[in-house]
Chain A
Amino acid sequence: MSEPTQHAEPVTEVPTYLIVFATLIVLTLLSVGSSFIPMGVGNAAVVLLIALTKTLLTLWFFMHVRYASRIMQLTIGAGVITLGIMFVMTLADYVSRSWGSW
């Protein structure tokens, strides 16, 4: 049998996956721990930043965005940016007109 026809990525993925796994676990525990420290609006910022980091790790390593072709990376990026536009534009409206508290 010849080489697998699919994908060009190396087959030594397991150590990488385990490192990412450990990082995700540590980040989760950090975000739970941070929520017990009173930081006002900082609490929301910290847990969301951690969630964003975990998402990027999952996308990049588990979902193989790092091996994806450039057109695929651009498409995924475009989707994320579109989502970002929705959040930023909507929140810009609320921030400037009827902001509550976080």
Chain B
Amino acid sequence: MAEHALPSTIAVADAPAAHADHAHGHDPYLRHHFETIEQQHEASSFGMWLFLLTEFMLFGGMFMAYMVYRNWYYPAFAAGSQQLNLTFGTVNTLILITSSVTMALAVHAARVRKQGTLVRLLITTIVLGVVFLGIKANEYKEKYDKHHIPGANFSIEEFTHPPAGSGEKPLPVDLAEKTQVYFSLYFAMTGMHALHMIIGLGLLTFLAFRASQGAYTQGYFSSLENIGLYWHFIDIVWTFLFPLLYLVNRHS
């Protein structure tokens, strides 16, 4: 892989494809405003990372709010957390980790130019993502049925009068009301996470379609790699959401 600078930018701008034939075989992917394909890849990767850093800040703000309110209303957060289904949460965590691995393997498949493997791995990633969202929807439905969605129909019944045998201590009414803060953050954070997953699934579907047409296995796959980064980022957000939302005071 010769890392030589092209003779002149003018030549690149005018006829990148023609130049490709006698320089090296990948210039068809080179946009005219970049000197080399390495520079182009570095720039696109850098741009993606800057975007992801703003995303870290977006979720960071919500995590900050969570940490402060949890610190203030800890018993309400512990009681709210007990309402989540730990089995669903754990299974979803494992599903998301698996989809992160299949995504990493997909990028690898593109690098070694195995089109069939790439398409299969992308489809696997999509299926895992859809299963995650299905389980999440099921959990949301349960919250709806139990009137645990913050707002006018919110019920504190289960927190002031915990069912016999649950091992939960009843909360005073004012503290029980604060479980709405927990559930507000729960829905805001998992909802924002789910929105990112839906966008990610759309992008992955596009990738799988393009890959089935032979894209990304010709030696240049920056867009695949960048969307892969986005998918891993979603996994990282869940890595923190899961312990903070599901694993508060499970031992009580």
List the A side residues contacting B143 at CB < 8 Å.
Answer: none
Interface residues on B, range: 35 or more
Chain B interface, DSSP helix/strand/loop, else mixed: helix
Cβ-defined contact, B243 with A50, below 8 A: yes
10 cross-chain CB contacts under 8 A: A2-B25, A25-B94, A28-B97, A28-B242, A35-B249, A51-B242, A79-B57, A82-B57, A87-B63, A101-B71
A28–B93 contact, CB under 8 A? yes
Query: In the assembly, what is the distance between CA of A17 and CA of B71, in Å?
Result: 37
Alpha-carbon separation in the docked complex, A95 to B38 (Å): 48
User: Which of B86, B98, B220 touches A32 (beta carbons < 8 Å)?
Assistant: B86
Instruction: Flag if B239 contacts A98 (CB, 8 Å).
Output: no
Q: Is B148 located at the chain interface by the 8 A CB criterion?
A: no
Instruction: From B108-116, B158-166, B203-211, give the one contacting chain A.
Output: B108-116
CA distance A13 to B250 in the complex (A): 37
Which residues of A are found within 8 Å of B6, using beta-carbon distances? none
**B24, A5: Cβ atoms closer than 8 Å:** yes
> In the complex the two chains form, what is the Cα distance from A86 to B68 in whole Å?
12
B-binding residues in A (CB < 8 A): 1-8, 11, 13-14, 17-18, 20-21, 24-25, 28-29, 31-32, 35-38, 43-44, 47-48, 50-51, 54-55, 58-59, 61-64, 68-69, 71-72, 75-76, 79-80, 82-83, 86-87, 90-91, 94, 98-102
In the complex the two chains form, is A11's CB within 8 Å of B111's CB? yes
Distance between B211 CB and nearest chain A CB, rounded to angstroms: 16
A21, A51, A63, A76: the one contacting B101 at CB < 8 Å is: A21
> Across the interface, do B71 and A62 meet the contact criterion of CB distance under 8 Å?
no
Chain A residue numbers with a CB within 8 Å of B104 are: 13, 17, 61-62
Q: Restricting to B3-53, which residues have a CB under 8 Å from any CB of A?
A: 24-26, 29, 37-38, 41-42, 45-46, 49-50, 53
Say yes or no: B239 contacts A90, CB within 8 Å. no
Bound complex: CA A3 to CA B25 (Å): 9
Residues of the A chain whose Cβ atoms lie less than 8 Å from the Cβ of B244:
47-48
A75 / chain B contacts, CB cutoff of 8 Å: 46, 49-50, 53
Q: In angstroms, how far is the closest chain B Cβ from the Cβ of A53?
A: 9
Decide: B1 and A3 in contact? CB cutoff 8 A. Answer: yes
| Shortest distance between the CB of A99 and any CB in chain B (Å) | 7
Q: Known A-B contacts: A1-B25, A13-B111. Give 17 more (CB < 8 A).
A: A1-B219, A2-B26, A4-B1, A5-B26, A5-B37, A13-B108, A28-B90, A48-B244, A72-B42, A72-B45, A79-B49, A80-B56, A82-B57, A83-B60, A100-B74, A102-B70, A102-B71
- Give A53's nearest chain B residue, CB to CB: B239
Q: Which of B82-127 contact A (CB under 8 A)?
A: 86, 90, 93-94, 97-98, 100-101, 103-105, 108, 111-113
Given A2-B25, A51-B239, A87:B64 Cβ within 8 A: yes
CB distance from B145 to the nearest CB of A (A): 25
Give A36 to B250 CA distance when docked, in angstroms.
6
